[in-house]
Structure 1
Amino acid sequence: MRKLLYVLLFVGTYMVSAQSKTIENMVKFKVKDSGSFLDDANDVDGYYFFYEVDKLKKGMREYAVNILDKNLNDVALKKFIASKKSVLAANAFNNEAILFALFDKKAKTLTLKGFDKKANPKDDIIVTLDKKVVRVLKAGLNLGNLNNLLYPVKNKGFILVLPNFEGKGTGYSLSFYPSNENEKPWTYEFVPREKRGHHQITPVALDDKFVVLTDVRVKGMSAKREFKTVVLNSQTGEKLFEKLYDKNDPKLITNAFISEDGKISVMGQYYKPKAKIAKAQSLGLYTEQFDEKGEVLFSKRISWQEDVSKFLPVKKNNKLKNIGYIFFHDIIKTQSGEYYGIGEQYKKTVSALGVASGILAAAAGGVQTGGYTQLTIKDVYMFKFDKDFNLTDVQVFEKGKSRVQNLVDYGSPQLSAYMIKAIGGFDFVYSQRDVKRDRFYANFIDYERGDKKKKKNKEKKKSRFVFKTIIQDGGELSVDNVELPKQSRYFRVLPAKVGHVLLLEYDRKKKSSSLHMEKLNIN
């Protein structure tokens, strides 16, 4: 299965209690230009759809924003006119408003077009872009990798992240745009002093108090990288503190969360001193907790050799035997104070498609544009921690293999996974908490391969797509598989109200989208 932007699925026969809806007159539509209105627990309050409805004169187009409630009833439909050169680069919802970022490469602008949950429009914001920024956005759109452009701050506003070329190297700029009159805009700019310092930043957690960033400084094409965590005040944009993971204490931070009492926790992997993270194998998992001044309140190391080996086979070189690596998509805290890490197994392998493309490119006198390697993704690993982050259990849930072409071949499997996650290449779809019942659901798309040959006296197993839900209830984990037979249409799985899933199918010939809300087979 190859899953980057689209999931090719069609609803199966094992779901019940379906609700459905059809949206017509979609002249041009991409399934990624739709989404759910989510609260803190990822429960759903409604849905939005952005699409083109008509071609006008002089290079203009008519677009529509269609909003539905959580039961697929119409809430509002609003239309507006923009240039045909406009491309939806990003969108975000902050619980009170939705913001679309329309990129016009010819005009060198980003138009931030906002609507409330009733689709009432807000004033447009025009951001003029430097030509170097335009090149970066164009390259990102070609790779389908602009997921790190726009971020919501709940009930406050939105943060736009752009590269900054004013210094000797490449820095970054964060601009906060409020969605209500009680908040004030701000901008935080980082301008590097190093000539060859190229900084890549990703917000990994943010709320009405803090913005937590991972900052990776890359020196040219070398394997040398510098990692740090940066924390800003989300109300003013002021930098509160930063934590540098230098050569004596190298770490790769991939997750973060902010507790209700204002404590900041980060989680990732740690390495031996002077290790090059782009190439080295980590020693284990790491978590650290800070206060708003950056003082360390708590830290914990979970070694592959000493701790994880009690539950999984670990080789002498710290690699998981017959497993490869595990990428953690989410960390969920239960009401009892325990934590669950939702992980997915992966390996970096040679891509037959990449090799074949390279041979064809060489024969034609051209250059190979894609990678020769891929991530091979497989089973789900659920890590359970107590309130002090001691590892207490690991459970494995089998899942079929999927393969995703790497964007670049150099670097460690961990860095490849970091980039593939940014473009939605893993099989993980979303997690959802049922606060009333103290449950959570971890949801994946699973491609179960059939038997190549029919076994003696046994029926041949057919390949199939499956929507796999792992349910945590009362400290116990269980799994529910829902069959999704493969079809040749564009499809996407969206979060729905608790205990349900929404399946979106776009029919290019009919220029319409069909929505099917289905109840999962759980009590």
Structure 2
Amino acid sequence: MIKKIFAPLLCCCLCLQQLYAQNKLSVDNVYSTYLRNSGTITENGQIKGYFFFYQSDKIDRRTNEYTLQILDENLNKVKDIKLQDSKSVNLLEAAYNGNSISFFFQDEKERKLTMKVYSMDGKLKYTYLNEYTRQTEELMKQYVSLHTDDGTNQNVFDVGHKGFVSVMPLRDGKDRTYEVDFYGSEKKGYWKYTPNDDEGRFAMAEYLGNTDSLVILQVFKRKHLIGNNVSGHLVGINFVTKRKVFDLDYEDQDFLFSPASVVRQKNTGNFIIAGTYYDKGASVMKDASKGLAFYTMNSKGKILSQSYNSWDKDFSKYIKTTGKGKIEDVGYLYIHKMIQSTNGQLYVVGEGYKKKANAAGIALTAAAAAAGSFGSAGVTKLVITDLVVMSFDGDYHVTDAKIYEKTDNTAMSNPLVDFASQHLLAAFLKGTGAFDYEFTTGEEDSDNFSICYSDYVREEDYKGQTFNTIHFNGSKFTQDKIQLKSKASKLKVFPAKPGSVMILEYFKKEKRIDLRLEKIS
């Protein structure tokens, strides 16, 4: 049996019954759900449909039938793609790149990782096979510990029409490094990149984004074989030429820089990188940042421009900040999205997270100490706080910032919080889908966009989940929210065509999933 944690989106024996010609769909006989194995189909940034992957039948005791269901933007059924495979196969991740859909499978029995690429008409285009060894066991452990309904893709990403890449952690004894694999979708082609320098033996990589030819990674490396001094690097790998193009540690710049988000700059071949910056000699893993920085770079890794916005001088004009690299009552800031306007302005969406005292953990630790033993409970917990929306001019200097308050959400409460760095904690929160930010929608080539996030409210007339929007009409921001009161066992909101969101509800007892489009402001 496929393990529940890896179960496909709609693991079921089902029949589809369309309730209305448009905007609603009901799926019956659903025995379990796994919402990660679903996604949106987009074209030029606009929603054109959805895909779902589920187990649809059991052929025999060794083989299952699976179905890839494709819907249009109005939830009309477009295509069913059937395939058969071993019941020991788990679907780990799925991605869409504009002309193909990829599925990343693990075969526990055969110890293989398989990438299958399908065209939008349902034909299997290419299959790529890799055996996994003791080095990739680290990846399997990561899927077990971090794979959740709400989590984002952790290892597989689209890089445009050319194909897909995976960024996987590797471990061999005490050595930690990473591997980048490219899977072609326009034509069959596969290649693998692993760092070969000494520092690469102690490296952790996180995918930040891509251009039409580059995969851009944030890599933390240990500078020496002995010691704990870790440096942050920006690494660019060209997936066309199959070569590493740049590896920047910013030692020759005025400040150290820890990149967090990448976006392609409109109307140029360059890209914008946002992240926190630090004094020379500081530890980017441990020390407080000075503020947010923006670097404009070309595809060769040349820095074309830089701008620095300090917490204490620049941001403090608009929001209260502390002297420890934090926003008062918000904590550290994780950058989710950069939105470029037609007039050159930049809007940045961030979300706060911080450590707070864990009263229960402190009590358990004190009780254990009194009994002469060591407690295993952490004395701090990790909390998600408020959303922050910032505006920057054409030179990326801050012109405004506003905090949108929401209910604090405890994301993690164990001893790891006591010792882990802010960057590792942020990576954990992103991988498990713990942040409340959902997505940003907008019209193509327009300054109208909506920032969407979830919240849990306790009001006099309503207590429960809400779906919230911060809408910008080109001149001002407004807010709206939808109450998500439901008897469903699980509920998830997806982006949809302009002015709408798609809501998926799973009713475990009734073995049914309902999908509907709902208007937002």
TM-score for the superposition, normalised by structure 1: 0.86
Q: Give the corresponding residue for 1:188.
A: 193
Q: Give the corresponding residue for 1:445.
A: 454
Contact 2:22 2:74 in 1 (8 A): no
Contact 1:18 1:517 in 2 (8 A): no
Q: Give the corresponding residue for 2:208.
A: 204
Q: Give the corresponding residue for 1:336.
A: 343
1:34–1:227: structure 2 CA closer, same or farther, 3 Å change rule?
A: same
Contact 1:492 1:503 in 2 (8 A): yes
Q: Give the corresponding residue for 1:457.
A: none
1:368–1:74: structure 2 CA closer, same or farther, 3 Å change rule?
A: farther
| Greater RCO (CA < 8 Å, at least 6 residues apart) | 1
Q: Give the corresponding residue for 1:169.
A: 175
Q: Look up the equivalent residue of 2:316 and give its one-letter code.
A: S
Q: Give the corresponding residue for 2:287.
A: 280
Contact 2:139 2:168 in 1 (8 A): no
Q: Look up the equivalent residue of 2:39 and give its one-letter code.
A: G
Distance 2:125 2:447 in 1: 37
Q: Give the corresponding residue for 1:150.
A: 156
Distance 1:366 1:54 in 2: 52
Distance 2:180 2:263 in 1: 20
Q: Give the corresponding residue for 2:264.
A: 258
Q: Give the corresponding residue for 1:93.
A: 96
1:406–1:226: structure 2 CA closer, same or farther, 3 Å change rule?
A: farther
Q: Which aligned pairs between 1:294-305 and structure 2 lie closer than 5 A?
A: 294-305=301-312
Q: Give the corresponding residue for 2:217.
A: 213
Contact 1:169 1:192 in 2 (8 A): no
Cα offset, 1:414, TM superposition: 4.5
Contact 1:170 1:192 in 2 (8 A): no
1:69–1:81: structure 2 CA closer, same or farther, 3 Å change rule?
A: same
Distance 1:322 1:52 in 2: 45
Q: Give the corresponding residue for 1:115.
A: 118
SS at match of 1:131: coil
Distance 1:329 1:146 in 2: 12
Q: Give the corresponding residue for 1:455.
A: none
Distance 1:443 1:121 in 2: 35
Report Cα offsets for 1:475-494 as digits up to 9, x if no partner: 31111111111545111111
Q: Which aligned pairs between 1:279-428 and structure 2 lie closer than 5 A?
A: 279-351=286-358, 373-405=380-412, 408-409=416-417, 410-428=419-437
Which of 190, 208, 229 is residue 224 of structure 1 equivalent to? 229
Contact 1:375 1:406 in 2 (8 A): yes
Distance 2:384 2:281 in 1: 29
Contact 1:164 1:191 in 2 (8 A): no
Contact 1:110 1:127 in 2 (8 A): yes
Report Cα offsets for 1:401-432 as digits up to 9, x if no partner: 22211673213334412321222110000112
TM-score for the superposition, normalised by structure 2: 0.86
SS at match of 1:136: helix
Structure 2, unaligned stretches of length 5 or more?
1-6, 8-20
1:156–1:352: structure 2 CA closer, same or farther, 3 Å change rule?
A: farther
Distance 1:143 1:334 in 2: 35
Distance 1:24 1:486 in 2: 18
Contact 2:232 2:257 in 1 (8 A): yes
1:368–1:475: structure 2 CA closer, same or farther, 3 Å change rule?
A: farther
Distance 1:44 1:418 in 2: 27
Contact 2:41 2:49 in 1 (8 A): yes
Q: Look up the equivalent residue of 1:432 and give its one-letter code.
A: T
Distance 1:106 1:376 in 2: 39
Which of 8, 24, 27 is residue 23 of structure 1 equivalent to? 27
Report Cα offsets for 1:192-219 as digits up to 9, x if no partner: 4259x43221221113222111111258
Q: Does residue 141 of structure 1 match 2:147?
A: no
Identity %: 29
Contact 1:164 1:190 in 2 (8 A): no
Structure 1, unaligned stretches of length 5 or more?
6-16, 451-459
Q: Look up the equivalent residue of 2:55 and give its one-letter code.
A: E
Cα offset, 1:256, TM superposition: 1.1
Report Cα offsets for 1:330-375 as digits up to 9, x if no partner: 1110011100011122221234576689899999x99988865433
Q: Look up the equivalent residue of 1:230 and give its one-letter code.
A: V
Distance 1:431 1:392 in 2: 21
Contact 1:27 1:53 in 2 (8 A): no
Cα offset, 1:94, TM superposition: 0.2
1:233–1:370: structure 2 CA closer, same or farther, 3 Å change rule?
A: farther
Distance 2:226 2:314 in 1: 35
Contact 1:207 1:234 in 2 (8 A): no
Q: Does residue 55 of structure 1 match 2:38?
A: no
Q: Look up the equivalent residue of 1:286 and give its one-letter code.
A: A
Q: Look up the equivalent residue of 1:324 and give its one-letter code.
A: G
Q: Look up the equivalent residue of 1:210 and give its one-letter code.
A: L
Cα offset, 1:273, TM superposition: 2.1
Cα offset, 1:70, TM superposition: 0.8
Contact 2:138 2:169 in 1 (8 A): no
Distance 1:255 1:118 in 2: 34
1:268–1:184: structure 2 CA closer, same or farther, 3 Å change rule?
A: same
Q: Give the corresponding residue for 1:82.
A: 85
Cα offset, 1:104, TM superposition: 1.8
Give the aligned CA root-mean-square deviation in angstroms: 3.2
Distance 2:185 2:366 in 1: 51
Distance 1:401 1:106 in 2: 42
SS at match of 2:126: coil
Q: Give the corresponding residue for 1:453.
A: none
Report Cα offsets for 1:413-457 as digits up to 9, x if no partner: 34412321222110000112212542111100011123xxxxxxx
Q: Does residue 490 of structure 1 match 2:490?
A: yes
Distance 1:281 1:138 in 2: 31
